Amino acid sequence: MPFNTIPIKDFVGRESELGYLKRFAGLRENAIAGNILLEGGRGLGKTELIKQAYRIIFLEEKNIVPFYYLFQRGTLKAAHFAKDYFTRFVRQYLAYLKKDPDFIDAMGTSLTRLIPVLASLRVEWMIDLIEDFQEQVKSGDLYGQILAAISAPVTAARKSGRPVFIMLDDFHMATQLYETSPGDVPGLISLFESSMKTYLCPHVLTGSPEGVLETIFTDNSFRGKAERMFLGQLPEDIAYSLFKSYCDKLEIKGDKKIVLKFLRVLGGNPLYIRNMVRTLWKMQRRDITERDLWESYSFEVSEGETEFYWSSIMGEFIMDAGQRRTGIELLMHSIKSNSEFHGTERLAKILGIPESSVISVIVALQLAGIIQGGDKIRHLKDNVLQDFIQSLYMREVEGINTQRIQELIEAKYSSMSGNVSSSFEMVIPMASDAELVAAKAIEQIGRNINLAPDVINHLQLALIESCINAMEHSGSYDKKVFLKFNVSTERIEIIIESPGKMFDVEAVEVLTVEEKFRSEHKRGWGLKLMRTIMDEVRVDRIGDRTRVILIKNIKRNEVAG
């Protein structure tokens, strides 16, 4: 399974994250780093990233053993989980020692049959581990089995002196581990605590629903043992490179300006990009027009692989037909009102169902990663997911047929037109007034596309703030700020990256103007200023860098005469 990845040359735009994961195991061995909490929306490539890291470590590292485990609904019963986890670990360890990936997938071979191979490799301690585990199974000691499974990588690392790099995919599912029926023994996840404390076993944990992993880590046993790493959307130029590399393989050609417009709707999501190219190929489109793109898109969100992907997730978390309809109506209500969900009491009145049903559906949608949790429950800002939900609503609630749904989705986008684009990069030192150099650059870029002077001024102000933030919050010895400008006549995307400490958006104190006036501390306008000026401000952690993405969609009246 962990070797089931796309070719590394097609894995574009995540080089810095991959490099960081590769270096991470070594940092942990020297007690410099903790564990990594890899977060991000669905389809952004978290699983692919850790699988790529797994493959590289497996093939290139002589002294670090990679172990990948995917939590799945089918193996959440504790006894099943323990056996599955332990068996996969033994196989992957053996595969690493033999440098033979075939051992990883040979699930048909019993552990007992692997013993002679382990003996030939002189890893008797692994044989002891197997025998101990089998003893626990025989005695029926469930906790003994789970502990033996979870601690196997730790024991292996201690006995061999080789660190084991543990990659736990969809780790949030571990909150649902149970003994005989779901929910009977909450807190089994805490049994991972000891493993995570071991300096020889760095962990990378992934989870899709934003905030769910953080919820796990509010538990005292986990708190303080992990650093956060966000996997955000691919920037526009990288998204285009990925799209083009898939198209080149399938001999599909298309005009860049049309494709860029299309990719903006996909929001830099690698899964969507791959699915769309496959659909273009299946529809036998070779020299693609704008119409081809929207045709394939409407197909994808209503009956293609993307529709299947989201339908499967919904089906996994909402199995009851009544709850499913409530979920669809609730999501559609949120999209239509283009805002946060109203309170559950009001939603219950709107949908005409008990409040308890609304609450249980919201919880399921949060777990599925379809809506965000936290104090305010919001639907995801994902065009494709929204179109999928709209298509689902039209089919299941309004009874509209698929062909008509596709026509409606096509009509929504087909009037859009493409434009010229270009990209600029620069590096500025973290030095006094260096942000003015960046401001000068965006001034010329703005002039190149005939932006109105006031709009250029606004962009300068936002960029100056972002550069100042990068300089003030970094604390890095590498005193540089990396800037990239992706520009078209309809959109400007500015990427500001700085090494060092994370700029924690959540930590920014939000005070009203009145409170600021009364307060001694009058600073802290930067983020608000950026958000006021730009259409979108995103802050991500990319490896050891903070990446801020500023996006401005250019309106017709913002272009000079």
Q: What is the 3-state secondary structure (H, E, C) of 97-138?
A: HHCCCHHHHCCCCCHHHHHHHHHHCCCHHHHHHHHHHHHHHH
Alpha carbons 176 and 520: distance in angstroms, whole number: 47
Would you count residue 526 as binding another protein (CB under 8 A)?
Answer: yes
Alpha carbons 390 and 253: distance in angstroms, whole number: 30
Closer to another protein by CB, 135 or 454: give it: 454
* Minimum CB distance to another protein, residue 489 (Å): 20
Alpha carbons 532 and 378: distance in angstroms, whole number: 20
* Minimum CB distance to another protein, residue 556 (Å): 18
Residues of span 37-56 touching another protein by CB under 8 A: none
What letter would DSSP give residue 8? G
- Interface residue with another protein among 142, 533, 534, 554 (CB under 8 A) is 533
Residues of span 454-473 touching another protein by CB under 8 A: 454, 457-458, 460-461, 464-465, 468
Containing 180, the helix (H) or strand (E) segment is none
Alpha carbons 58 and 93: distance in angstroms, whole number: 10
- Could you identify the residue written with the tokens 């919820």? 215
Q: Which stretch binds another protein (CB under 8 A): 80-88, 285-293, 435-443, 538-546?
A: 435-443
* Minimum CB distance to another protein, residue 231 (Å): 29
* Minimum CB distance to another protein, residue 523 (Å): 5
- Interface residue with another protein among 292, 435, 493, 497 (CB under 8 A) is 435
Closer to another protein by CB, 249 or 522: give it: 522
Closer to another protein by CB, 342 or 516: give it: 516
Residue 305: which of 264, 275, 339 has the closest Cα?
275
Residues of span 483-522 touching another protein by CB under 8 A: 512-513, 516-517, 522
- Could you identify the residue written with the tokens 């509010």? 218
Q: Which stretch binds another protein (CB under 8 A): 249-257, 259-267, 524-532, 549-557?
A: 524-532
Residue 293: which of 441, 207, 417 has the closest Cα?
417
Closer to another protein by CB, 175 or 460: give it: 460
Alpha carbons 464 and 476: distance in angstroms, whole number: 19
Pairing relationship of beta strands 203-207 and 164-169 according to DSSP bridges:
parallel
* Minimum CB distance to another protein, residue 351 (Å): 36
Locate 404 and state its tokens.
């008509």
Q: Left (φ > 0), alpha (ψ -120 to 50) or beta: where does 284 sit?
A: left
* Minimum CB distance to another protein, residue 490 (Å): 21
Closer to another protein by CB, 203 or 458: give it: 458
Let me know the angle formed at the C-alpha of 245 by 244 and 250, rounded to the nearest 5 degrees.
90
Closer to another protein by CB, 410 or 558: give it: 558
Residues of span 52-91 touching another protein by CB under 8 A: none
Alpha carbons 471 and 479: distance in angstroms, whole number: 8
Q: Using a CB cutoff of 8 Å and minimum separation of 24, what contacts does 54-60 make?
A: 54/2, 54/3, 54/167, 55/2, 55/3, 55/5, 55/8, 56/8, 56/18, 56/22, 57/22, 57/25, 57/165, 58/2, 58/3, 58/95, 58/96, 58/101, 59/99
Altogether, the residues listed in the chain come to a count of 561
* Minimum CB distance to another protein, residue 551 (Å): 17
* Minimum CB distance to another protein, residue 454 (Å): 5
Closer to another protein by CB, 288 or 459: give it: 459
Closer to another protein by CB, 118 or 496: give it: 496
* Minimum CB distance to another protein, residue 426 (Å): 18
Residues of span 140-159 touching another protein by CB under 8 A: none
The count of other CB atoms within 10 Å of the CB of residue 31 is: 8
Residues 76 and 170: beta-carbon distance below 8 Å: no
Would you count residue 432 as binding another protein (CB under 8 A)?
Answer: yes
Alpha carbons 469 and 531: distance in angstroms, whole number: 14
Q: Which stretch binds another protein (CB under 8 A): 41-49, 139-147, 224-232, 430-438?
A: 430-438
- Interface residue with another protein among 159, 333, 528, 538 (CB under 8 A) is 528
Interface with another protein: number of residues (CB under 8 A): 26
Would you count residue 429 as binding another protein (CB under 8 A)?
Answer: no
Closer to another protein by CB, 57 or 451: give it: 451
* Minimum CB distance to another protein, residue 332 (Å): 32
Query: What track of x and - describes contact with another protein for positions 241 through 260 (by CB under 8 A)?
Result: --------------------
Q: What is the 3-state secondary structure (H, E, C) of 212-277?
A: HHHHHCCCCCCCCCEEEEECCCCCHHHHHHHHHHHHHHCCCEECHHHHHHHHHHHCCCHHHHHHHH
* Minimum CB distance to another protein, residue 151 (Å): 51
- Interface residue with another protein among 60, 375, 433, 506 (CB under 8 A) is 433
The contact set with another protein (CB under 8 A) reads 432-433, 435-436, 439, 454, 457-458, 460-461, 464-465, 468, 512-513, 516-517, 522-526, 528-529, 532-533
